Amino acid sequence: MVKPADNLLEVRDIHTFIGQFHILQGVTVQVPKGSITTLLGRNGAGKTTTLKSILGITPPRQGQVILDGEEIQGRRTYEIASLGIGFVPDYRAVFRDLSVEENLRIAERKPGDLARHQDFIFGLFPDLKRLIKLRGQQLSGGQQQMLAIARALVADNRLLLIDEPSEGLAPVLVEQMMEAIQRLSEETTVILVEQNFAVASQLAKYYVIIEEGRSVQGGLMADLLKDRETIQRYLGAA
Amino acid sequence: MDIAINTLRRNRTQAITLTALVVFFLVAMQGMETQDWVITMLRGLAVAAVTFLVASGFSLIFGLMDVLNLAHGTLFMIGAYIGWTVYVRPDTAVDITPPIALIAAGLVLLPACEYLLAKMRLSHTILRLLPWVALILGLLLLFVGLPRFPITAWDPMVYDKSPVVYSVQLDTGRLILPEPVQVDANSLAVGIAGALLGGGLIALSLAAFARRTRAVAKTRFPRMAVGVALVLMILGLVINASSAALTQLLMDVGTTWRFFVAVIVATFAGAGLGALMEVSLIRPLYARPIYQLMLTLGLGVIGREVIIAIFGRSQTSMPKPALFNGTGPGCPAQNIGDWLANQCSTISFMGSRIRTYNEIFVILVGVIVLIVVWLLLQRSRIGMVIRAGVQDREMVEALGTNVRRVFTVVFALGVGLAALGGVLAGPFMGVSDSMGESLLLSALIALALGGLTSFPGAAAGSLLVGLLQQFIVKYGQIGIQLPFLAEPFKPTPPLVPASTLLLMVIILLVMPQGLFGRKE
**Chain B interface test: which of A55, A94, A97 (most B C-beta within 10 Å):** A97
Collapsing DSSP to helix, strand or coil, A106 comes out as coil
Residue pairs between chains A and B whose CB atoms are closer than 8 Å? 71
Q: Residue B384 and residue A102: Cβ atoms within 8 Å?
A: yes
The answer to whether B391 contacts A55, with C-beta atoms less than 8 Å apart, is no
Strand A189-193 vs strand A159-163: parallel, antiparallel, or unpaired? parallel
pLDDT of residue B7: 62
Q: Do B387 and A89 touch (CB under 8 A)?
A: no
pLDDT of B330 reads 81
Give the residue from chain B lying closest to A137, CA to CA. Answer: B3
Residue A2 has pLDDT above 60, yes or no: no
- For position A105, what pLDDT does the model report? 95
Residues of chain A with CATH 3.40.50.300: 1-84+158-238
Please determine, for residue B101, whether its predicted confidence score (pLDDT) is greater than 90.
yes
pLDDT-based confidence at B513, cuts 50/70/90?
confident
A3-47 pLDDT per residue, tens = 445 789 999 999 999 988 999 999 999 999 999 999 999 888 999
The A206-211 sheet, strands edge to edge = A85-88, A159-163, A189-193, A36-40, A206-211, A214-220
Confidence of residue B481 (pLDDT cuts 50, 70, 90): confident
- Identify the pLDDT of residue A1: 41
Q: Does the pLDDT of residue B215 top 60, yes or no?
A: no
**Residues of chain B with C-beta less than 8 angstroms from the C-beta of A59:** 215
The more confidently predicted of residues B217 and A218 is A218
> CA–CA separation, B139 vs B497, rounded Å?
43
Cβ of A151 and B387 within 8 Å? no
Mean pLDDT of B436-454: 92
- Predicted confidence at residue B519, as pLDDT, reads 59
Least confident of A94-108, B454-468, B497-511: B497-511
pLDDT for B169-200, tens place per residue? 998 888 888 888 888 889 999 999 999 999 99
Express each pLDDT in A174-201 by its tens digit: 998 999 999 988 889 999 998 888 889 9
* Domain spans in chain B, listed from the N-terminal domain onward: 1-42+440-520
User: What ipTM goes with this model?
Assistant: 0.92
**By mean pLDDT, which of A50-64, B5-19, B300-314 is the weakest?**
B5-19
Residues 6+ apart with CB under 8 A from A137: A96, A97
> Could you say which of B215, B218, B385 has the minimum Cβ distance to residue A106?
B385
Asked if pLDDT for residue B413 goes beyond 60, the answer is yes
Name chain B contacts of A107, Cβ cutoff 8 Å.
399-400
Q: What is the pLDDT of residue A4?
A: 47
Beta bridge partners of A16: A24
**CATH domain A1-84+158-238 topology:** Rossmann fold (3.40.50)
Test mutation, B395, B454, B519, chain A, max A CBs within 10 A? B395
How far is Cα B56 from Cα B413, in angstroms, rounded to an integer?
10
pLDDT average, residue stretch B496-513: 85
- Dump pLDDT digits (tens) for A61-109: 999 999 998 899 888 899 999 999 999 999 888 999 999 999 999 999 9
CA closest to A71 among chain B residues: B217
Predicted pLDDT at B503: 86
**A15 conformational bin, left if phi > 0, alpha if psi -120 to 50, beta if neither:** beta
Nearest to A82 by CA among A180, A158, A138, A8: A158
For A153-158, what is the mean pLDDT? 94
CB contact under 8 A, B217 and A76: yes
pLDDT band with cut points at 50, 70 and 90 for residue A238: very low
Query: What pLDDT was estimated at residue B280?
Result: 87
